[in-house]
A and B are shown apart, each in its own frame.
Chain A
Amino acid sequence: MNSMQWEVVIGLEIHAQLATKSKIFSGSSTAFGAEPNTQANEVDLGLPGVLPVMNKEALNMAIKFGTAIDAEIGKRSVFDRKNYFYPDLPKGYQTTQLELPIVGFGEVEIELENGTTKTIGVTRAHLEEDAGKSLHEDFSGETGIDLNRAGTPLIEIVSEPDMRSPEEAVAYMRKIHSIVTYIGICDGNMQEGSFRCDANVSMRPKGQEEFGTRAELKNINSFRFVERAINVEIERQIDILESGGKVVQETRLYDSNKNETRSMRSKEDAMDYRYFPDPDLLPIVVTDEEIEAIRKTLPELPDAKKSRFMEDYNLNAEDAGILTTSLELADFFETVAKESGDSKLASNWVSGELTGRLNKEGLSIKSSPVTAKQYAGLLARIKDNTISGKIAKEVFDAMWSEGGGDADSIIESKGLKQISDTGALEAMVDKVLADNPNQVEQFKAGKEKLMGFFVGQIMKETQGKANPGQLSQLLKKKLSE
Chain B
Amino acid sequence: MHTKTIAQLAAGLKAAEFSSVELTEHYINRIEKFDSSLNSFVTVTADEALVQAKKADQLIAKGEGNVLTGIPFAQKDIFCTDGVKTTCGSKMLDNFIAPYNATVIESFNNAGSVMLGKTNMDEFAMGSSNETSFYGAVSNPWDHDYVPGGSSGGSAASVAARLAPASTGTDTGGSIRQPAALCNLTGLKPSYGRVSRYGMIAFASSLDQAGTFTQTAEDAALMLGVMAGLDTKDSTSIDEPVPDYAASLNADMKGLKVGLPKEYFADGLDADVAKRIDDAINEYKKLGAEFVEISLPNTHLSVPAYYIVAPAECSSNLSRFDGVRFGHRCEDPKDLEDLYKRSRGEGFGDEVKRRILVGAYALSSGYYDAYYLKAQKIRRLIANDFTEAFKKVDVIMSPTTPTPAFKIGEKNDDPISMYYSDIYTIAVNLAGLPGMSVPCGFINNLPVGLQIIAPYFAEAKLLNVAHQYQQVTGWHLEIPEQYK
- Residues of A whose CB lies within 8 Å of any CB of B are 42, 45-54, 81, 83, 85, 87, 90-93, 145, 272, 274-276, 279-282
Contacts and interface: CB of A to CB of B under 8 A. Distances in A.
A45 B325 contact: yes
A98 to B, nearest CB: 11
B209 interface: no
A50 B318 CA distance: 12
Interface string B315-326: 110111110111
A47 B325 CA distance: 9
Contact of A48 (B96, B312, B324): B96
B365 interface: yes
Interface string B190-210: 000000011111101110000
B312 A276 contact: yes
| Size bracket of the B interface | 35 or more
A75 to B, nearest CB: 19
A275 B366 CA distance: 12
A90 B320 contact: yes
Interface in B301-334: 312-313, 315-316, 318-322, 324-327
A45 B199 CA distance: 13
Nearest to B196: A51
Contact of B236 (A42, A48, A145, A280): A280
B128 to A, nearest CB: 22
Contacts of A145: 324-325
Nearest to B237: A51
B234 A47 contact: no
Interface stretch (B97-105, B397-405, B474-482): B97-105
Closest 8 CB pairs of A and B: A92-B319, A274-B363, A279-B205, A279-B206, A49-B199, A48-B201, A46-B320, A49-B80
Nearest to B200: A49
B233 interface: yes
A51 B198 contact: yes
A93 B235 contact: no
B416 interface: no
Contacts of B412: none
Given A90-B325, A92-B316, A48 B93 contact: yes
A92 B314 CA distance: 12
Contact of A50 (B199, B324, B364): B199
B88 interface: yes
Interface of B: 79-80, 86, 88, 93, 96, 98-100, 102, 197-202, 204-206, 232-236, 312-313, 315-316, 318-322, 324-327, 336, 340, 360, 363-365, 368, 372
A45 B324 CA distance: 11
B102 A49 contact: yes
B99 A42 contact: yes
Given A47-B326, A279-B205, A279-B313, A91 B199 contact: no
A272 B365 CA distance: 6
A83 B363 contact: yes
Nearest to B232: A53
A53 B316 contact: no
B235 A53 contact: yes
Nearest to A83: B316
A274 B236 contact: no
**Most chain A C-beta atoms within 10 Å of own C-beta, residue among B324, B363, B364:** B324
Given A48-B201, A49-B98, A50-B198, A276 B372 contact: yes
Contact of B233 (A53, A54, A81, A279): A53
B348 to A, nearest CB: 13
A47 B234 CA distance: 15
Contact of B235 (A45, A83, A276, A280): A280
Contacts, number: 101
Given A83-B363, A90-B325, A274-B360, A49 B198 contact: yes
A145 B326 CA distance: 13
B368 A276 contact: yes
Contacts of B102: 49
Given A42-B99, A85-B319, A281-B235, 10 more contacts: A48-B93, A49-B202, A50-B198, A90-B324, A90-B325, A272-B365, A276-B368, A279-B205, A279-B206, A282-B235
A92 B233 contact: no
A42 B204 CA distance: 20
Contacts of B79: 49
Contacts of B236: 51, 279-280, 282
Contacts of B232: 53
Nearest to B365: A272
B92 to A, nearest CB: 9
Nearest to B90: A48
A274 B88 contact: no
15 contacts: A46-B325, A47-B100, A47-B325, A48-B201, A48-B202, A48-B321, A49-B201, A51-B198, A90-B324, A91-B319, A92-B320, A93-B316, A272-B364, A280-B205, A280-B235
A209 B99 CA distance: 59
B364 A274 contact: yes
B99 A47 contact: yes
B98 A48 contact: yes
B202 A52 contact: no
Nearest to A82: B316
A50 B319 CA distance: 14
Contacts of A276: 312, 316, 363, 368, 372
Contacts of A93: 316, 319
Contacts of B206: 279
A85 B322 contact: yes
B235 A91 contact: no
Contacts of A46: 320, 325
Nearest to B102: A49
B364 A51 contact: no
Contacts of A92: 316, 318-320, 322
A53 B312 CA distance: 22
